[in-house]
Amino acid sequence: MKNIRNFCIIAHIDHGKSTLADRLLQVTNTISARELQNQTLDDMDLERERGITIKSHAIQMEYEKDGEKYILNLIDTPGHVDFSYEVSRSIAACEGALLIVDAAQSIQAQTISNLYLALENNLEIIPVLNKIDLPSANPEEVTDDIVDLLGCDPEDVLRCSGKTGEGVLELLHTIIEKVPAPVGDPEAPLQALIFDSVYNPFRGIEAFYKVVNGEIKKGDQVKFMATNKKYFADEIGTLKLNQVEKKTIKTGDVGYIISGIKDASEVKVGDTITLVDNPAAEAIDGFEEVKPMVFAGIYPVDTEDYEDLRASIEKLRLNDASLTFEAESSAALGFGFRCGFLGMLHLEIVQERLEREFGMTVITTVPNVSYEAYLEKDPEKAIHVHNPSELPDPSGLNRVEEPYIRAAIITKSEFVGPVMSLCIEKRGELQSQTYLTQHRVEMIFNMPLAEVVFDFYDRLKSISKGYASFDYAPSGMKASKLVKVDIMIHGDVVDALSALIHVDNAYNIGKKMCEKLRELIPRQQFDIPIQAAIGAKIIARETIKALRKDVTAKCYGGDISRKRKLLEKQKAGKKKMRQIGRVEVPQSAFLAVLKLND
């Protein structure tokens, strides 16, 4: 056990975590030159296409130093704020963390929030300066930033290049020297913490765990403490690039278990595995529940696929524990699910994975956040509103509270003005402004989560030429003047397009939505009115004109009454058609509402 090292790699997005992991795998000969490809651990097509890590990936390496054999369990984590839940789970299974900082970009918002996560879990932090081979690298200045942040000595900061492999061997030796060995009692009853799981269509659910106390043997009868279900450990082993079967996994080590579990709801990430014969007295604590930030409805395009969609979301949830869902129905779209996500990128990735991995084509409704409504008759009792259609009647409402966040933005000093005006436009209040160096500023805003959901991140990147980094944490609920804006097409309310919006923005957004829908809904044989309404009051209207045939083309001159007669006849036909006509809203219209500022 004293020769085991469990560590994870944490950093802001695109600071070279996965490339550095490749070099570590190469130096320890864990993978052959033939198996090596760029970002080896990113095994999902989506990760390769976008160049981001979506899932944390565990892999075991073996290395010999001074005649001693060491087992190194590495977990490569995502860097985007939307996948911070993956990072928190990885940190729970480690004793040390490599904090990687890009020598060209310096410290960014997610670097700081990941560092605090690791410090809360008492991890040994090894600061690493990566990408020192870049022409734009500024190692001296960035080292000073790291020293200020961590309070370490400048010589403690390791300098590496994931691309050229420079400094990787020294990094490996530092991990062995500095990261503490896991602590646990090999004689105690088995306690193993599940930190991830994945669905295998042939073998059922594979759970990944870290053994905290005791040991697990092949063939043992085990119990999952949260669900109280019992299984046999049909196969256990460690995670190399492919799974390696073992007879025993001892204290402090990381491994996988396959026990033929078919039902996705029986494995919960954060659960404790113990033995049936000699059970542990209590489960491992310190695991936090996920708090979804953004809610959206996901509906099958064909209503008959509802059950298939349920199965697909359950399997996907195994692999992505931060996804939450519950069944709901909509008048416009039929039966579907109201899902909770950690952010807009998370929503996009889930939708894409449903299409690619499970072949499900889905319609996503307008994303919104979760509100709390209070009624006049009981102003203390909160009603949770996940969907605008659940908002109680405004006449009986006392107040509506919306979630606020503490947003930390780090940017270059020249972009302070544009960033500030964007945040104030989004109803943000500046809390503090700190100069980290003379060129880098950290700004803290208190702002409504609903304003950040749509296009905030994209606009922040464009006004700062890509130099602003953004991170947020919930800061509580606050009463706001919110109204429900309904979109009516041809007189019918389309509940999937309803949104809860602040009074000041309601008219603007209602008008933009109507204009956007007018472009996207195909013309029919009759006029289609598109209206935005708050209660019974119409605040905006656009009309899609009918397709008309030129019925007067055959009249050359002659009496005007002949033309009028033909036009009146056409008008009567259109009127009749309008009464029986139905408007199909295309899928692109539901998605277009997300991009109102384009």
Please say whether the beta carbons of 126 and 37 come within 8 A. no
Q: Residue 211 CB: number of other CB atoms within 10 A? A: 25
Radius of gyration of the chain (CA): 28
Q: Which of 140, 80, 99, 107 lies closest to 411, judged by CA?
A: 107
> Alpha carbon 260 to chain centroid distance?
29
Q: Residue 164 CB: number of other CB atoms within 10 A? A: 12
Helix (H, G, I), strand (E, B) or coil at 380: coil
DSSP letters along 50-75, please?
A: HT---S-EEEEEEEEETTEEEEEEEE
The answer to whether 19 is annotated as binding is yes
What backbone torsions phi and psi does residue 159 show, to the nearest 5 degrees? Answer: -110, 125
Q: Which of 39, 55, 38, 12 lies closest to 353, judged by CA?
A: 55
Angle at CA of residue 13, ends 8 and 15, nearest 5°: 75
Structure token digits, residue 264: 């996705």
DSSP letters along 217-271, please?
A: ETT-EEEETTTTEEEE--EEEEESSSEEEESEE-TT-EEEEE-----GGG--TT-
The answer to whether 516 is annotated as binding is no
The answer to whether 80 is annotated as binding is no
The answer to whether 561 is annotated as binding is no
Based on the number of CB atoms within 10 Å of its own CB, is 546 exposed (0-12), middle (13-18) or buried (19 or more)? middle
The answer to whether 377 is annotated as binding is no
The answer to whether 492 is annotated as binding is no
Q: Which of 174, 78, 79 lies closest to 124, judged by CA?
A: 174
Cα–Cα distance between 258 and 239 in angstroms, integer? Answer: 13
The answer to whether 76 is annotated as binding is no
The answer to whether 132 is annotated as binding is yes
To the nearest 10°, report the CA torsion of 390, 394, 398, 402: 50
Amino acid at 30: T
The answer to whether 28 is annotated as binding is no
Q: Which of 263, 388, 400 lies closest to 328, judged by CA?
A: 388
Q: Residue 94 CB: number of other CB atoms within 10 A? A: 26
Cα–Cα distance between 337 and 330 in angstroms, integer? Answer: 10
3-state helix, strand, coil in the chain (%, to 5): 30, 35, 35
Cα–Cα distance between 423 and 418 in angstroms, integer? Answer: 9
The answer to whether 365 is annotated as binding is no
Cα–Cα distance between 510 and 97 in angstroms, integer? Answer: 48
Which residues belong to the annotated binding site for GTP?
A: 14-19, 130-133
Which residues belong to the annotated binding site?
A: 14-19, 130-133
